[in-house]
Chain A
Amino acid sequence: MAQQTRNIAGGYRREGSEIHPPYLYPDYKGTRLRAPKKPLIIVPHTLSELTGPLFGHTGIGPLDNDLTRQHEGEPLGERIIVHGRVMDEDGRPVRNSLIEIWQANAAGRYAHKGDQHPAPLDPNFSGAGRCMTDDEGYYRFITIKPGAYPWGNHPNAWRPAHIHFSLFGPAFATRLVTQMYFPGDPLFYQDPIFQSVRDPKAQKRLISTFDLETTVPEWALAFRFDIVLRGRDATPFERPHA
């Protein structure tokens, strides 16, 4: 280990992350036995946290971002385009970064053996997609609008329609799993997962916007969902000398 180690000062920003939901949010029953109760230990951003997995375009199939063309027939439901841009807090695009999505079908049923909701499965819809952001941070999926579905959290509990998103960004520190919702959903008020985000402005960032301009006439509606990952502290840091 004769190498000079780096003096890293430029970690990812911590301010701003208080908008994330708490671990314990008792209205969402699932948190009660799974949320840690002992305080988290604040860890400095070392080389371990400043690096993170990178995925090439190589494993991604040409139809992986089109959830309507993964089977012989077309799925039932409203065909939609879901697109947007992934940026950091300073507006810099998050380039060539993997996005994975998953969702229920138009009837509100997941193609998952654990989903017992008595709504029909669609043999032409799996509900899984992935793509890489382009050089400007843009991504685009074609899918169908997922349905709302009931769950056992509280009496007559329904999840608002949503699409799950998984993003990596440039580092271990920027990993994010979230959910995209649709504008004007009447179910937000009773959904503890959505409500676990307390700041109304932050809640709004989980809701896609109807995007008339991207709509394809006679073919598909469009929704835009921009995603903002943490930005890097501007503090300059010493470059390593190998």
Chain B
Amino acid sequence: MSSERSRAGITPSQTVGPFFHFSLLKEDYSRLVGSDHPSAIRIEGTVYDGTGEVVPDAMLEIWQANSAGRYAHPEDSREGLSLEEGFSGFGRCGTDSEGRFTFITIKPGPVPGPEGKMQAPHILVSVFARGLLKRLTTRIYFPEEEEANSEDPVLALIEDPEMKKTLIAHPIEGGYRFDVHLQGESQTAFFDV
């Protein structure tokens, strides 16, 4: 056990700035599965600032379990649930000049939550941009999971029903739309992870 005295201070966060594309987006991580995957879904959206202007220089990262609800990570040691070859669960996409991003992925299964409760299927999101001195994190939930969403222990932490709605994606042809509002009346619910 280390004492408080010997604990090192963490390195502070700094903004990703406007010029990360040639490094962080050199490889395309926006397709977690091929578009010909039988259960492929598209998740698209737009990032807006506090005046409702689109944010053309943001980057989103997503992290999710596979369709069985298993994370490709040693912390998830539930061997009864299968891993999928080639599915890492990680995605990354920059916004374009219209502030839009698109991921091709699969819908995750439910995963365990605190106190033995299950969490509704969800995708974790990190948002990076010039003007964000540290990342923002949020979650994408699915509109057809009404019952699971109503029992989800993390959604339950959000008291304002309007704020809660910001985490539920909207169905569109072939997938879902999930817009991110950084600031303002319709601000997305963000988490302190």
When distances are taken between beta carbons in the complex, the residues of chain A under 8 Å from B183 are 33-37
Q: Is the interface of A mostly helix, strand, loop or mixed?
A: loop
In which size bucket is the chain A interface?
35 or more
Contact A36 B89 (CB under 8 A): no
Contact B49 A34 (CB under 8 A): yes
| Given known A-B contacts A33-B183, A112-B22, A240 and B131 have beta carbons under 8 A apart | no
| Given known A-B contacts A5-B118, A34-B131, A242-B80, A49 and B22 have beta carbons under 8 A apart | no
B21 at the interface (CB under 8 A from A): yes
In which size bucket is the chain B interface?
35 or more
Contact B7 A205 (CB under 8 A): no
Taking CB as reference atom, which chain A residue is nearest B13?
A: A20
When distances are taken between beta carbons in the complex, the residues of chain A under 8 Å from B53 are 33
When distances are taken between beta carbons in the complex, the residues of chain A under 8 Å from B69 are 1
Tell me the residues in window 63-96 of chain B with beta carbons closer than 8 Å to chain A beta carbons.
63, 65, 69, 71-73, 75-81, 88-90
Contact B16 A177 (CB under 8 A): yes
B135 at the interface (CB under 8 A from A): yes
| Given known A-B contacts A48-B122, A128-B23, A205 and B113 have beta carbons under 8 A apart | no
What are 29 A-B pairs at a CB distance below 8 A? Answer: A5-B117, A7-B115, A28-B131, A30-B130, A30-B131, A33-B131, A33-B182, A34-B132, A35-B132, A37-B187, A38-B190, A41-B189, A41-B190, A44-B154, A46-B113, A46-B119, A47-B112, A50-B75, A90-B6, A100-B24, A102-B24, A112-B18, A129-B23, A172-B124, A177-B16, A178-B12, A178-B14, A196-B133, A242-B77
